[in-house]
């Protein structure tokens, strides 16, 4: 304060700053009327010239904005309608049946072909309702390439394609692959956690139910640009949505086009949605905003960082109320950034729901050069005329105002404290001479009065200096720019800076302010209100200590310069105390009310309930109003009042209690077992109880059920005939039930480990047991089952059936095996006896069938001998038929003893043997045979003989009647068709056809026909005959239809 003049300091404190009213000089009073006449005449001419130029500008701006708008609209059609054309083409291909969405390979090839044919196409993708997805992402711009390289960490070239896929086994993850020249995936480079069904474009297209546009969105995979998708839901034959086909476009291509659109030096084009959000803009800004730690958000036009975009958006909203009210082209002009802008707004719509506004704006300054030149010429001429008038007026005014100006200068000097000699009183003008005399007398009187005031002012300033210097509150004087001029000692202690470090610096230079925004708010308030009182200011001392002070500011005048007087009061300690108390209360309240356990607060003396948390209300089933102000005795919570007395006595004596178990009555007459814990605390000047209640009813019921289960398990182990074992695969602990030990005859100490158990296993079964256990541990089998032999304590081996199941931990590692063993020694011995008896029976059956077959062949030989001795052709034919019939039965027994299956006959082998035998018997090489019977066709023993006899009759009749002519050649076909359990056996030939009107019933008198009908009935089948034609001629077809599961048991 030593360098601060005391007189000026006192004057700054006592005299408020005043702004003298501006006066009009005499010279201007003389000059202005003369100049106004000239200026008005020139101004009219300039105005008319200006209006003519403005009309030309308006006409030119309309033509320019209209042409630019048409160019933008054409390019938007090129970008956007290509996407919809791809959707329409794909939907047409699916509806016509040329494209099947279920055939992923076909659809994938189609998507690749579509990318090659449509260079303007964005990504194209198909996703179904099962979460599967395939598609292609072309890399056609630097932006998309940069995104792909950032996500993959690998180089990606422009002009390449990425194949994207989400498979059934990859749900929730989208994979991107490089592709070859045929669109086939090669190297996986990107893996992203994406669920297609939750993406906004998929949900929007599915909800629309028809071909449409999705809302504009920011992709999750690359949140660096806006995108829009065109798509259509695909449906099955029941009109159910099975998936969505979509093509997408990054709107950055529109942004790039607008930025490269050169139609004016400063003109701009931007596109808005009806909601007011930006789609694209030619300005150097993104149509979305990114805040640190937050996802990108759409940028509204009224929040744009570009002044022109923001001004036009605000104007549209003010004029129309909503952008949805703009239905036709709108043209207007407005002022922005200090210049006039011409604006043209054109709606852009299509039939798929797209509805945007294209805004073209051009500044007037871009095309007004020639017009401005003419305007400047006019202004120059006006300026010359005005200048000449002013010079003439000044010359005339100086002749009149010189004496008056001398008097005015002397008065001003006197006002500034500069005493000077008296004015000369020799003016020839009487009025001016009288005025000079009066001024001289006044100046002498003022000098005497000023001397008296100066003495009083010095005394007052000394008092102010003492107050400023020794005030316990920090005080400072600053310039209006915030530069420190002087501070007191309290301010030095408060800021921890020296006076040399502070003087000449600002709070921003020294970083005293902890928040620059509060500086702005503080000075705005000062300039608005003229002073500030009690402003809460967060500061930072030189050591880095943070604190809070209440600051008051007011303007003062120091040496003719406006300054600011700042007085502070440090309240940091008070703030810290308040914050600590607030945080403590918040922590307690949060813990109390958020606790999952029921909590309550009650008075210690009377037991009145003061507060409860939500868990307590849910537990007891009462409303909060029914609990507050009442005691637990009134609410009837305690089952026994002596428990309440014991609880209260212990709490008063010890001050706290933990785990006090009682029975609690709650609403609906329910009784619950609870554990009470409580402590005594002082709240609002009275002793209170803060308690926590834990419901252990379910735990006690589980404990009782567990005891019952353990008893049941113990009884099961004791009473079971099977032995129970439990092996810990990690600790190798081994448990064997008493029945296990009883089966093998060992004491537990003798086979206490699994290795000791393995030592007793029969050597031939040792590897089998280990392999079976290993297969189950590797989860190749659902459970472990093995039969093996073990050497018992008495030295004999017993057969055991071991069964078990492994237990795996959360990491898939087996940790335990539990199972049982059963003594199957007697069963194994019985199986050996059974197998021996079965082998004997098989041998006996084979011998029986062999002997039957031999006997039948002996009968056939006897019939042939008898036939050779006879001359009667009829009898010979009868003997030949009998011989073939017996032979067919003999072949059945031959197949049986040559086979290991005595219950069924292989029909294929039997038919081949039968046909071979009949051909040998008839010796007919003119007739070819075709046999079409499945190799695994089997018939039962009961069905084999009737089938064989019927086949014998049909084939024999074909030889005897169809090919009786020795010159006739042909084919006999034998075919079996299996339809479920039904067999259809047919015999056809292209020999001599049957007589007209032939039927089986009409020919029943024939022994062969009658035999076949009887045998067909025995098979519960149906025998039929028909004629048909094929490429070889007319066929006679006999067919036998019967079930392989049914046959009469008696003839």
**pLDDT tens-digit readout, 894-913:** 665 565 566 688 888 878 88
- CA pseudo-torsion sign 583, 586, 592, 594: negative
Strand 686-695 to strand 670-683: parallel, antiparallel, or no bridges (unpaired)? Answer: antiparallel
- Domain carrying residue 358: 266-366
Q: Is residue 40 part of a domain?
A: no
Q: In whole angstroms, give the CA distance from residue 554 to residue 953.
A: 133
Residues 590-597: contacts with CB within 8 Å, 24+ apart? 595/692, 597/692, 597/693, 597/694
Q: 576, 609, 628 — which closes off a domain?
A: 576
Both 227 and 130 in one domain: the answer is yes
Q: Is residue 62 part of a domain?
A: no
Mean pLDDT of the chain: 81
Q: Is residue 38 part of a domain?
A: no
Both 611 and 665 in one domain: the answer is yes
Both 83 and 231 in one domain: the answer is yes
The strand order across the sheet containing 1022-1030 reads 927-932, 970-979, 982-989, 1033-1043, 1022-1030
Residues 1009-1018: contacts with CB within 8 Å, 24+ apart? 1011/949, 1011/953, 1012/949, 1012/950, 1012/953, 1012/954, 1015/946, 1015/949, 1015/950, 1016/946, 1016/950, 1016/1040, 1016/1042, 1017/1048, 1018/946, 1018/1047, 1018/1048, 1018/1051
Residue 754 tokens, joined: 């699994």
* Cβ neighbours of residue 497 closer than 8 Å, sequence gap 6 or more: 510, 542
| 133 within 8 A of 165, measured Cβ to Cβ | yes
Q: What is the reported pLDDT for 763?
A: 92
- CA pseudo-torsion sign 861, 862, 863, 864: positive
Both 475 and 438 in one domain: the answer is no
Q: pLDDT digits over 477-494, tens only?
A: 888 888 888 888 888 887
Q: 637, 666, 701 — which closes off a domain?
A: 701
Q: In whole angstroms, give the CA distance from residue 269 to residue 281.
A: 6
Q: Is residue 418 part of a domain?
A: no
Q: Looking at 40-44, 100-104, 367-371, 810-814, which range is the least confident one?
A: 367-371
% of the chain exceeding 70 in pLDDT = 81
Q: 823, 851, 877 — which closes off a domain?
A: 823
From residue 195, how far is each of 247, 438, 638, 772 by CA, in Å? Answer: 17, 97, 54, 42
Q: Looking at 13-27, 137-151, 213-227, 738-752, which range is the least confident one?
A: 13-27
Both 89 and 238 in one domain: the answer is yes
Q: What one-character DSSP code corresponds to residue 675?
A: E
Both 725 and 807 in one domain: the answer is yes
The enclosing domain of 1044 has a CATH number of 3.30.565.10
Residue 137 tokens, joined: 């992402």
Q: Which of 461, 454, 406 is nearest to 429 (CA)?
A: 406
Both 216 and 88 in one domain: the answer is yes
Cβ neighbours, 10 Å, residue 133: 25
Tallying the residues shown for the chain, one arrives at 1051
Q: Taking the CA of residue 196 as centre, how many other CA atoms within 13 Å lie in the half-sphere pointing to its CB?
A: 28
Cβ neighbours, 10 Å, residue 727: 20
Q: Is residue 792 part of a domain?
A: yes
Q: pLDDT digits over 218-256, tens only?
A: 887 677 788 899 999 998 888 899 999 999 888 888 888
Q: Is residue 583 part of a domain?
A: no
Q: Position of tokens 């990107």?
A: 190
| 686 within 8 A of 603, measured Cβ to Cβ | yes
Highest-scoring range by mean pLDDT, 375-379, 448-452, 591-595 = 591-595
From residue 541, how far is each of 512, 514, 674 by CA, in Å? Answer: 6, 9, 56
Q: What is the reported pLDDT for 851?
A: 60
Q: What is the reported pLDDT for 1?
A: 42
From residue 540, how far is each of 213, 277, 545, 736 by CA, in Å? Answer: 55, 42, 6, 76
Q: Position of tokens 């006066």?
A: 23
Q: What is the reported pLDDT for 11?
A: 36
HEC per residue, 748-766: HHHHCCHHHHHHCECHHHH
Both 679 and 562 in one domain: the answer is no
Q: Is residue 714 part of a domain?
A: no
Q: Taking the CA of residue 843 as centre, how many other CA atoms within 13 Å lie in the half-sphere pointing to its CB?
A: 6
Both 683 and 767 in one domain: the answer is no
Please say if the pLDDT value at position 10 is more than 60: no
Both 878 and 1018 in one domain: the answer is no
Domain total of the chain: 8
Q: What is the reported pLDDT for 894?
A: 65
Both 786 and 846 in one domain: the answer is no
- Provide mean pLDDT across the span 618-636: 86
Q: pLDDT digits over 196-212, tens only?
A: 888 888 999 999 989 99
Q: Is residue 790 part of a domain?
A: yes
* Cβ neighbours of residue 38 closer than 8 Å, sequence gap 6 or more: 385, 386, 389
Both 693 and 663 in one domain: the answer is yes
Q: Which of 936, 848, 933, 953 is nearest to 896 (CA)?
A: 848
Residue 861 tokens, joined: 């030989």
Confidence of residue 12 (pLDDT cuts 50, 70, 90): very low
The enclosing domain of 315 has a CATH number of 3.30.450.20
The verdict on pTM exceeding 0.85 is: no
- Provide mean pLDDT across the span 929-938: 86
Q: What is the reported pLDDT for 7?
A: 36
């Amino acid at each position: 304060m030593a360098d601060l003049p005391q007189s000026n300091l006192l004057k700054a404190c006592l005299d408020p700053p005043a702004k003298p009213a501006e006066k009009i000089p005499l010279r201007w009073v003389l000059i202005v009327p003369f100049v106004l006449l000239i200026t008005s005449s020139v101004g009219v001419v300039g105005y008319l010239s200006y209006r003519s130029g403005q009309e030309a500008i308006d006409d030119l701006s309309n033509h320019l904005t209209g042409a630019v708008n048409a160019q933008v609209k054409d390019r938007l059609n090129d970008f956007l309608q290509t996407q919809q054309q791809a959707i329409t083409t794909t939907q047409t291909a699916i509806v016509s049946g040329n494209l099947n969405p279920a055939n992923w390979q076909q659809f994938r090839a189609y998507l690749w072909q579509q990318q090659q044919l449509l260079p303007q196409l964005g990504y194209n993708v198909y996703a179904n309702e099962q979460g599967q997805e395939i598609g292609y992402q072309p890399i056609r711009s630097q932006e998309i390439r940069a995104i792909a390289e950032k996500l993959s960490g690998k180089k990606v070239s422009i002009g390449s394609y990425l194949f994207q896929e989400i498979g059934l086994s990859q749900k929730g993850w989208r994979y991107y692959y490089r592709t070859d020249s045929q669109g086939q995936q090669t190297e996986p480079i990107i893996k992203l956690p994406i669920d297609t069904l939750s993406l906004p474009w998929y949900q929007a297209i599915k909800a629309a139910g028809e071909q449409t546009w999705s809302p504009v969105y920011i992709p999750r995979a690359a949140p660096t640009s806006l995108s829009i998708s065109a798509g259509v839901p695909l449906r099955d034959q029941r009109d159910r949505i099975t998936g969505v086909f979509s093509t997408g476009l990054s709107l950055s291509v529109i942004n790039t086009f607008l930025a490269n659109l050169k139609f004016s030096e400063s003109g701009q084009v931007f596109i808005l949605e009806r909601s007011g959000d930006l789609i694209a803009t030619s300005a150097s800004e993104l149509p979305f905003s990114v805040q640190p730690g937050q996802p990108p958000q759409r940028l509204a036009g009224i929040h744009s960082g570009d002044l022109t975009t923001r001004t036009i958006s605000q104007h549209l909203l003010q004029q129309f109320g909503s952008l949805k009210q703009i239905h036709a082209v709108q043209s207007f002009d407005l002022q922005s950034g200090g210049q006039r802008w011409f604006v043209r707004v054109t709606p852009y719509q299509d039939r798929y729901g797209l509805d945007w506004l294209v805004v073209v704006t051009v500044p007037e300054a871009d095309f007004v050069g020639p017009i401005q030149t003419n305007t400047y010429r006019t202004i120059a001429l006006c300026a010359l005329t005005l200048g000449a008038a002013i010079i003439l007026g000044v010359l005339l005014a100086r002749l009149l105002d010189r004496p008056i100006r001398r008097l005015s200068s002397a008065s001003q000097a006197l006002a500034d404290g500069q005493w000077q000699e008296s004015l000369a009183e020799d003016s020839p003008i009487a009025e001016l001479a009288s005025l000079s005399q009066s001024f001289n007398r006044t100046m002498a009187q003022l000098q005497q009065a000023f001397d008296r005031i100066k003495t009083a002012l010095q005394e007052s300033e000394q008092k102010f200096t003492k107050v400023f210097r020794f005030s316990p509150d920090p005080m400072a004087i600053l310039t209006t720019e915030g530069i420190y001029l002087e501070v007191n000692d309290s301010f030095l202690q408060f800021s921890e800076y020296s006076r040399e470090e502070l003087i000449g610096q600002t709070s921003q230079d020294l970083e005293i302010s902890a928040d620059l925004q509060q500086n702005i708010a503080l000075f705005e308030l000062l300039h608005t209100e003229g002073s500030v009182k009690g402003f809460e200011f967060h500061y930072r001392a030189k050591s880095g200590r943070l604190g809070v002070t209440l600051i008051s500011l007011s303007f003062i005048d120091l040496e003719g310069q406006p300054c600011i007087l700042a007085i502070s009061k440090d309240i940091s300690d008070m703030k810290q105390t308040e914050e600590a108390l607030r945080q403590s209360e918040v922590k307690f309240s949060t813990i109390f009310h958020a606790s999952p356990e029921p909590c309550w607060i009650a008075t210690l003396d009377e037991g009145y309930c003061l507060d409860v948390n939500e868990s307590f209300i849910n537990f007891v089933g009462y409303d909060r109003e029914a609990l507050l102000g009442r005691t637990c005795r009134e609410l009837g919570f305690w089952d026994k009042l002596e428990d309440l007395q014991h609880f209260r006595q212990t709490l008063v004596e010890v001050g706290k209690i933990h785990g006090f178990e009682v029975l609690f009555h709650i609403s609906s007459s329910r009784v619950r077992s609870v554990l009470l814990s409580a402590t005594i605390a002082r709240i609002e000047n009275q002793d209170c109880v803060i308690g926590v209640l834990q419901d252990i009813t379910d735990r006690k019921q589980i404990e009782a059920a567990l005891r019952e289960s353990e008893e049941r398990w113990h009884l099961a182990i004791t009473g079971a005939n099977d032995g129970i074992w439990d092996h810990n695969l990690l600790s190798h602990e081994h448990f064997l039930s008493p029945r296990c030990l009883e089966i093998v005859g060992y004491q537990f100490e003798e086979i206490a480990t699994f290795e000791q158990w393995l030592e007793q296993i029969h050597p031939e079964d040792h590897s089998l047991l280990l392999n079976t256990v290993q297969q189950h541990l590797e989860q190749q089998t659902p459970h472990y089952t093995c039969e093996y032999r073990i050497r018992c304590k008495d030295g004999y081996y017993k057969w055991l059936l071991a069964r078990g199941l492994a237990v795996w931990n959360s990491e898939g590692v087996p940790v335990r095996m539990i199972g049982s063993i059963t003594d199957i020694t007697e069963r194994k011995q019985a199986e050996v006896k059974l197998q021996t008896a079965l082998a004997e029976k098989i041998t006996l059956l084979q011998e029986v069938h062999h002997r039957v077959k031999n006997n039948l062949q002996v009968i056939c030989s006897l019939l042939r001998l008898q036939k050779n001795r006879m001359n009667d052709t009829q009898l010979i034919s009868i003997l030949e038929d009998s011989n073939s019939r017996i032979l067919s039965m003999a072949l059945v027994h031959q197949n049986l003893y040559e086979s290991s299956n005595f219950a069924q006959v292989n029909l294929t082998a039997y038919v081949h043997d039968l046909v071979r035998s009949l051909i040998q018997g008839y010796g007919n090489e003119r007739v070819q045979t075709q046999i079409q019977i499945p190799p695994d066709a089997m018939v039962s023993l009961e069905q084999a003989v009737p089938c064989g006899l019927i086949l014998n009759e049909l084939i024999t009749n074909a030889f005897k009647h169809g090919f009786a002519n020795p010159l006739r050649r042909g084919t006999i076909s034998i075919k079996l068709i299996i339809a479920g359990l039904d067999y259809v056996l047919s015999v056809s030939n292209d020999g001599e056809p049957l007589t007209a009107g032939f039927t089986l019933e009409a020919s029943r008198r024939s022994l062969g026909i009658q035999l076949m009908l009887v045998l067909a009935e025995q098979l519960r089948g149906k025998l039929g005959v028909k004629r048909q034609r094929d490429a070889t001629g007319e066929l006679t077809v006999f067919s036998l239809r019967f079930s392989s599961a049914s046959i009469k048991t008696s003839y």
